[in-house]
Amino acid sequence: MTTKAQQLLVVDPDPKVRDAFLRLFSSNYLVTVFDNPDGALKWLAAHPDVAVIVSCANLTGHGGAVFLQASEHHAPHAARIMLTAEQSVEVLKAAVNSGHLFMLLTKPCSPKELISAVEAGCAHHDRLAQERLLLEKTLKGSVKLLIDMLSLFHADAFRKTSTMRTQAMKIAKRLNLKRTWELEMAILLSPLGEALLPKDILSRYRAAKTLTEQQKDVLERAPGQTRDLLKNIPQLDKVAHILYLSGRGFDGSGFPKNGPVGKDIPLPSRLVRILTDLWYASPENGVDAAAFEALSIKGRQYDPYLLEIARSCLLTDGDDKPRRQVTLCYIRALKPGDVLVDDILTDGGYELVLSRDHQLTETTIRRLEQYNHVSGIRQPIRVHREVEKAAAENIPA
């Protein structure tokens, strides 16, 4: 039997069955039992990583198949096993099809059968988890490369993503969000629609100047443009939906005009909206109380709970915040993770290469080396670098 303490959920109205599972599996698994589907679904909402769900076919209410189907919303990667005394082939076939089952066992079951089924379910869950992790890492790497390249051509639009990503992860930790992958991808890809906007509209918006109704309409449609770019990429459909609704105000204002309101808007969309507007309301040296006051003036457009959480997280310097110092260095001494203090310009100062606050990667550093070879770049360059790294290196000035 596996030695990994995985979560096993058992739902059965018969106390003898529940006791049997506890006796058989408690030494090797984290076993939770319920006698009704309602309590089990509430538990699943807080435990999406459960490995195996075992349900009796004859549950109160709509039955075991309906419960197992509902459980997929909370724990999509769990292996679902149904216990039934039914012998009819047609009934069994319907249960398998409607309950999205991994395995169906007919009562009575021997301990050996149950152990074998649960072990197989755990192996299935582990395989799905590994495949999902590999896919997410691959996709994340591809998106990061895409962002690195786009930031070279739309430096001003993409310079905010590094700061917003750090802020979003800090807030997600405070909210105890179990899964942040879609939020992180949404933050990184949020400037795509902005990069397609006409420069005059973008500059007026950033300067808080009055926009015509036509210009407002173009601006509000930026999230829709981003969705249209991403929706056909496998595994990014949820990210595309998050960005599409990030232009929607908590009070129902914004784009899309007939979209959801309040908490019906996905939480990541509400958070992207807050962090984007917070970025434009903040001074060059980072978010401050005045930026939050500026958002409070339009308070109904933002989730008040999320806005308060953001204020609490971002206006206090936590002990876990990495200490940084300004370091002066040439391109050859730049390191991945360095954050630009100033805009990087060509030698003549005519062209913006990368915007301040951009966090450097190996890709952007190599691109800077090539750019410097062809056009020349103003050096030395000021960067924010973690104190530990800066102290360990002798950087030429």
**Could you give the 3-state DSSP secondary structure of residue 334?**
coil
| CB-based contact 382:327 (threshold 8 Å) | yes
The reported pLDDT for the residue numbered 395 is 44
| CB-based contact 350:308 (threshold 8 Å) | no
Return the half-sphere exposure (C-beta side, CA atoms, 13 A cut-off) of residue 204: 13
Q: 84: phi > 0 → left, psi -120 to 50 → alpha, else beta; which?
A: beta
Q: Which of 35, 41, 42, 45 is nearest to 10 (CA)?
A: 35
Q: Which of 232, 226, 228 is nearest to 247 (CA)?
A: 226
Write the CB contacts of 260 (distance below 8 Å, at least 6 apart in sequence): 245, 248
Question: How distant, in Å, are the alpha carbons of 31, 250, 341, 384, 386 from that of 389?
Answer: 45, 42, 17, 11, 5
The reported pLDDT for the residue numbered 196 is 77
For the entire predicted model, the pTM comes to 0.60
Please spell the DSSP secondary structure of 155-189, one letter per residue.
HHHHTTHHHHHHHHHHHHHHHT-S--HHHHHHHHH
Letter string b/e over residues 81-93, b meaning 16 or more CB atoms within 10 A of that residue's CB: bbbbebeeeeebe
Spans in the chain with pLDDT lower than 70: 1-4, 87-99, 152-157, 206-208, 285, 316-324, 349-350, 387-397
Residue 278: CB atoms within 10 Å = 23
What's the residue count for the chain? 397
Residue 66 has which token pair? 């309906």
Q: Where are the alpha helices (DSSP H) in 282-361?
A: 289-297, 304-314
Question: How distant, in Å, are the alpha carbons of 192, 381, 382 from that of 342?
Answer: 23, 8, 7
Give the largest CA-CA distance in the chain.
83
Q: Can you give the three-state secondary structure of 21-68, one letter per residue?
A: HHHHHCCCCEEEEECCHHHHHHHHHHCCCCCEEEEECCCCCCCHHHHH
Helices and strands, counts by H and E, the chain: 18, 10
The reported pLDDT for the residue numbered 201 is 83
Residue 15: CB atoms within 10 Å = 10
The reported pLDDT for the residue numbered 18 is 93
- What is the distance between the alpha carbons of residues 144 and 153, in angstroms, rounded to a whole number? 15
The reported pLDDT for the residue numbered 392 is 47
Residue 222 has which token pair? 């930026």
The reported pLDDT for the residue numbered 4 is 60
Domains along the chain?
7-127 (3.40.50.2300), 154-314 (1.10.3210.10), 324-391 (3.90.105.10)
The reported pLDDT for the residue numbered 396 is 44
Look-up: residue for tokens 């076919």?
57
